[in-house]
Structure 1
Amino acid sequence: MKKWNYREGQGRNRRQGAGHQRWYRGNRQRYGHDDAGPSHRESQRRYDNQSTAAVSSSSSSASTSAKTSDSAPELPGFYFDPEKNRYFRLLPGHNNCNPLTKEELQRKERETQRNKMLEEDEKPKKKAPRTGLNTSLLLQKRNLGLLPVNSYCRLVHEVKVSGMRRHKLEIQSTDNSNPSTDNFRLIVGDSACERVFTVNDVSHGGCKYGIMNFSSSSQGSLSVEMCDNLYFTNRKVNSICWASVNHPDSHVLLCLVGMADTPGCVSLLPGSLFSNFNPDQPGMLCSFKISSAWSCAWCLNPQFDKTFSTGLSRRVILKHAETGRTQTYSVGSDVLAQQFAVRVPVLFNGCRSGEIFSIDLRQRGRRDQSWKAMRFHQESAITSVRVLQDENYLLAADMLGQIKLWDVRVTKPVQEYKGHNNEHAYLPIHVNEQEGLLLAVGQDCYTRLWSLKDGHLLRTIPSPHPAANDSIPSIVFSSNLGGCKGLPGLLMAVKHDLYYFPYSTDYQEGGEQPKGLNGSATKDF
């Protein structure tokens, strides 16, 4: 007689119950060949529980000590103070007298981080934007023929970006008054960066706008003079661009939003209107009845000379500044950003829906939106579009903080620039292809600079003032601030102050800076 084997019997039972891992008889459970009996399994379970408890207790104690030193676990309704190493109860955030609200604690943490970054920026030696990147190493590689000239120039600019330091500029006026009493809202430089159009908030409501003139001296200093002819309005300025009517950047195009009984309009103002030298001949001054315009752009293509566009709610309007000829395109969303290409008369538009489309001005308006030359989408509302000199590539930023470089020939993104911060603000982006840089100010009030070629984040510059929705900096970056022989660097306007971040190390060194043409001086902060 063959002796019965438990595993063989279990194997037959398993074959009989094809596809079933367990089978039942009454209320008793049979165990597979990998399972032990109930008594053995119970003892094994007790042993495993004891070992697991020992391991978990040791690991929990280690993790607790690590979290206490680094970051404690977040408990609902409590705040962990790392200095006192204990938890505190959070009270409702609507109580203004309560210092322990989540929003206030986050603001305090951001302010601590900002001050820490400001201290780091004041140090003479800063961290290189890339590992192992310095001027001497780049020069050595170039002399050995290991680095092309174009790559060498681009990497040298990246090294200079990491060495920029903040200097405060004193704004002068002809009557020696102090013009910097109102907060800056927006600054836009002309193509030569000799003039910067400014919009300032006024304390009693509305805003004022004017022009600042920049000039550089042979000693390497930058001077700023505010034109005396400032203009006030109770309407909000939504968008600004320089316009070339009589000569390059001869006029300024403003989109004014209506307030109460005052209707909105688009104004074309000559730059000489703000000058003190020829107030009798200001040039062509126009005002167009276009209400609630979100964006505007000026066409520099000679085929459509003196033509500008405005983006409105579900409409795009093209208008000739002299003849007044108008062409209207109906779209499905608000047009928040616009820019013309130069070599071909094509207008690129960015919408609140995230759609980006182009209009070829050589084609007449058609129905069913077949006039759209190309179209593609991002995930959120488009706040800024910039066409590169190649004109086959377009930069677009949206309200999710995404900045993408698009190849318009295949309508696909080829590069993404990470780190930008935006949730709901209408923020522009800035490109300097000569230096190979992309710049953007985030809603967190940090100015970030990326390498345009590979998307590497080169530097993050904190605001000199605490972060707030009404103190987001406005910037201008140019290789020639003050004219063709000007100084390269970054201009930042925040609150009522104007700051300059120069490339030149000679500008940074020394205590008192040489005075400029108008007697202005720079202060190192």
Structure 2
Amino acid sequence: MPQELPGLYYDAEKNRYFPIKPRIPGSSSHASQFQKNPLSNSIQVEATKLCPQTKAPTSRLLHLRELNGGAFTFDRGRHSFQEEFHKLQASKPVIWRYRGTDNISDSALEQTQIDTQTLEGQMETDVLLAGSIDGSLSFLNVGKFGQHFEYGLTHIPDLVGPSTKVEAESNETPRYMWRPLGASLRMSSRISCMKLFEKCPTFTNNDDSKVRRALITTLGSETSGGYVYILNLLEPVDFSSTVDQRLHAVASFNYTIWTADFNSHTSRAVIGTNIGASLVNVERGTSVWVCRTKSDVLAQQFDQTGNLVLCGLRNGAIVTVDVRENQDGLSARLMRHRVPYFSSGRSNQKQWFELKGHIYPSHTIYMPSSISSLVSLQSYDQYFLASSMDGSMKLYDHRLTKRGAVQSYGGHVNSHTRIQLGVDQSERFVVSGGGDCYLRLWSIKSGKLLFEDKFSDSAPTTVCWQRAERCGGREDEKQRYKEHLFGQNHNFGAWLGSRGGLFYMHWS
């Protein structure tokens, strides 16, 4: 059976996929309001800046499922009960804010499980790694772990949404958060990026599946450049003593480090700077330039093979860099490219910019302004999400870059801030804060805006979903992972960081 791909439909007679074309400019909005996808047999509604209300309440969905099974006809289209129910859940989250968490999670945020050493012995606990603009790195323990120590800060959640009492009472209050006194570090400058080394999903029963390390980069300052650090998380953590001995600098640069990503197949990381992209071997501490450009690299993402890196530039271009070459002397053999660039101004004239590297000029994508975030999808290895600082937010297929975006997401607001995109474990939804301090959530497949609300006076700039860590590798492992994701019932949850505090968003 053909695989369902976002933005594409399968033609059985021609035995190939075709893109679902967007509405032609100037055509009737009524005639193109609905687009039929023959593969999913469902209706896809165009992206809209208005938050659509779910038209079928839970009781109605359950009634339709009893009468028609997993697929049913409703509102002029065929729908999947499972997909519609997940959308209904996503459109009605409950949000809490943790007291006393201002200014600790506005530049980086990751969640994982680590072993901790307590007076009662070793135990496993959920932990948030939070990085801030002022350079602080904090361990935040979620749950009952704090009762094992006398000293530390307890952060209590306060409900900030929804506005209706019935919805609020139907959700359980999340666990308290504990910050031990020895669980904070002061870095040399602002934390610019943090990535956990990937691990295999827990359902594989792999005893060696824990997150071992975290990659952390600092932006740099007027007196020194940025640093690349590795944080050791394999050994049990004792928060009664300082944790700074777990942090090791593996490379330093006389440049600004804006972003980074880690290749789960090797011991290599790629960093984005104000003069290009560099590949760093975190075991040996060596580095080599793989792309040189006068436009800052603000966002990066490895593909699933680890052979290609997407680099999002300040000028709005997204270039594909090949990093498979022998790294010895690679910088001396970087090829020069002159890439066309279409200005977003009124003249819309073709311009040119130069860069060096092993890139694919034909795969270059252009967005209207500086790239803010890039996220590759794991279930569909050629798809990735991208956002730019003018508020544009799109889904692309790396094989069809010349055709433009596969899907667009309306309603996102930004002007100058690097704001992360967050994708849930099942890769149904994408969430992002906005420059207007609103939080928004979209359906990745349809582009529909399912939720938007303002619960803070500062923009949510970081996000991490509660999810099982992903594992690349053999095709059978990927297939089991995909079946695991789409076969289970999710209790969605996401952590959101801003200058105004740390938030938790939950769907039951």
TM-score by length of 2: 0.62
Structure 1 residue 332 displacement after superposition: 4.3
2:396 paired with 1:406: yes
Please give the per-residue CA displacement for 1:197-220, whole angstroms capped at 9, x wherever unaligned.
11246xxxx432112223499x87
- Partner letter of residue 296 of structure 1? A
> Out of 180, 185, 210, which is 2:106 matched to?
185
2:359 paired with 1:372: yes
Q: Distance in 2 between matches of 1:181 and 1:405?
A: 32
Residue 57 of structure 1 is matched in structure 2 by none
Residue 8 of structure 1 is matched in structure 2 by none
Q: Distance in 2 between matches of 1:258 and 1:240?
A: 15
Please state whether the residue corresponding to 1:241 is helix, strand or coil.
strand
Structure 1 residue 485 displacement after superposition: 11
Please give the per-residue CA displacement for 1:107-133, whole angstroms capped at 9, x wherever unaligned.
xxxxxxxxxxxxxxxxxxxx9954522
- Partner letter of residue 136 of structure 1? S
2:87 paired with 1:155: no
Residue 216 of structure 2 is matched in structure 1 by 254
- Partner letter of residue 210 of structure 1? S
Structure 1 residue 280 displacement after superposition: 8.7
Q: Distance in 2 between matches of 1:160 and 1:341?
A: 30
Distance 1:415 1:319, change over 3 A: same
More strand, by proportion? 2
Q: Is the 8 A contact 2:111 2:128 kept in 1?
A: yes
2:464 paired with 1:476: yes
Q: Is the 8 A contact 2:65 2:81 kept in 1?
A: yes
Residue 275 of structure 2 is matched in structure 1 by 314
Please state whether the residue corresponding to 2:106 is helix, strand or coil.
strand
1:20-59 matches, within 5 Å, as none
- Partner letter of residue 89 of structure 2? K
Q: Distance in 1 between matches of 2:51 and 2:198?
A: 40
Structure 1 residue 159 displacement after superposition: 1.1
1:39-188 matches, within 5 Å, as 129-145=52-68, 147-148=70-71, 151-169=80-98, 180=101, 182=103, 184-188=105-109
Q: Is the 8 A contact 2:54 2:91 kept in 1?
A: no
> Out of 265, 273, 276, which is 2:227 matched to?
265
Q: Is the 8 A contact 2:276 2:293 kept in 1?
A: yes
Please state whether the residue corresponding to 1:222 is helix, strand or coil.
coil
2:410 paired with 1:456: no
Q: Is the 8 A contact 2:108 2:193 kept in 1?
A: no
Please give the per-residue CA displacement for 1:303-328, whole angstroms capped at 9, x wherever unaligned.
xx110010112311001111234221
Residue 294 of structure 1 is matched in structure 2 by 258
- Partner letter of residue 496 of structure 2? M
Q: Distance in 2 between matches of 1:361 and 1:263?
A: 24
Distance 1:443 1:499, change over 3 A: same
Q: Is the 8 A contact 1:154 1:435 kept in 2?
A: no
Q: Which is higher, the Rg of structure 1 or of structure 2?
A: 1
Residue 196 of structure 2 is matched in structure 1 by 242
Please give the per-residue CA displacement for 1:354-377, whole angstroms capped at 9, x wherever unaligned.
111222322455412462133221
Q: Distance in 2 between matches of 1:284 and 1:452?
A: 37
2:318 paired with 1:350: no
Q: Distance in 1 between matches of 2:52 and 2:144?
A: 28
Q: Distance in 1 between matches of 2:194 and 2:244?
A: 23
Q: Is the 8 A contact 1:128 1:162 kept in 2?
A: no
Q: Is the 8 A contact 1:210 1:274 kept in 2?
A: no
> Out of 157, 179, 186, which is 1:232 matched to?
186
Distance 1:451 1:191, change over 3 A: farther
Distance 1:326 1:280, change over 3 A: closer
2:341 paired with 1:387: no
Residue 148 of structure 2 is matched in structure 1 by none
Q: Distance in 1 between matches of 2:135 and 2:196?
A: 19
Q: Is the 8 A contact 1:238 1:293 kept in 2?
A: yes
Residue 303 of structure 2 is matched in structure 1 by 341
> Out of 478, 488, 492, which is 1:488 matched to?
492
Q: Distance in 2 between matches of 1:472 and 1:462?
A: 10
> Out of 327, 330, 351, which is 2:292 matched to?
330
Please give the per-residue CA displacement for 1:455-508, whole angstroms capped at 9, x wherever unaligned.
0000102123x35xxx54533333579xx999532323344543323212xxxx
Cα-Cα RMSD: 3.5
Distance 1:167 1:293, change over 3 A: closer
Moved more, 208-217 or 329-338: 208-217
2:503 paired with 1:499: yes
Residue 520 of structure 1 is matched in structure 2 by none
Q: Is the 8 A contact 2:386 2:394 kept in 1?
A: yes
Structure 1 residue 451 displacement after superposition: 0.7
**How many equivalent residue pairs?**
356
Structure 1 residue 241 displacement after superposition: 1.7
Q: Distance in 1 between matches of 2:185 and 2:452?
A: 35
Q: Distance in 2 between matches of 1:325 and 1:230?
A: 28
Moved more, 435-444 or 239-248: 239-248
Structure 1 residue 231 displacement after superposition: 0.8
Please give the per-residue CA displacement for 1:16-38, whole angstroms capped at 9, x wherever unaligned.
xxxxxxxxxxxxxxxxxxxxxxx
Residue 136 of structure 2 is matched in structure 1 by 208
Q: Is the 8 A contact 1:479 1:487 kept in 2?
A: no
Distance 1:498 1:486, change over 3 A: farther
Structure 2, unmatched stretches of 5+, are 1-49, 73-78, 114-124, 146-171, 200-207, 338-356, 470-487
- Partner letter of residue 422 of structure 2? H
Q: Distance in 1 between matches of 2:295 and 2:489?
A: 43
Please state whether the residue corresponding to 1:427 is helix, strand or coil.
coil
Structure 1 residue 180 displacement after superposition: 3.7
Moved more, 189-198 or 234-243: 189-198
Instruction: Return the structure number with greater relative CO, CA threshold 8 A, min gap 6.
Output: 2
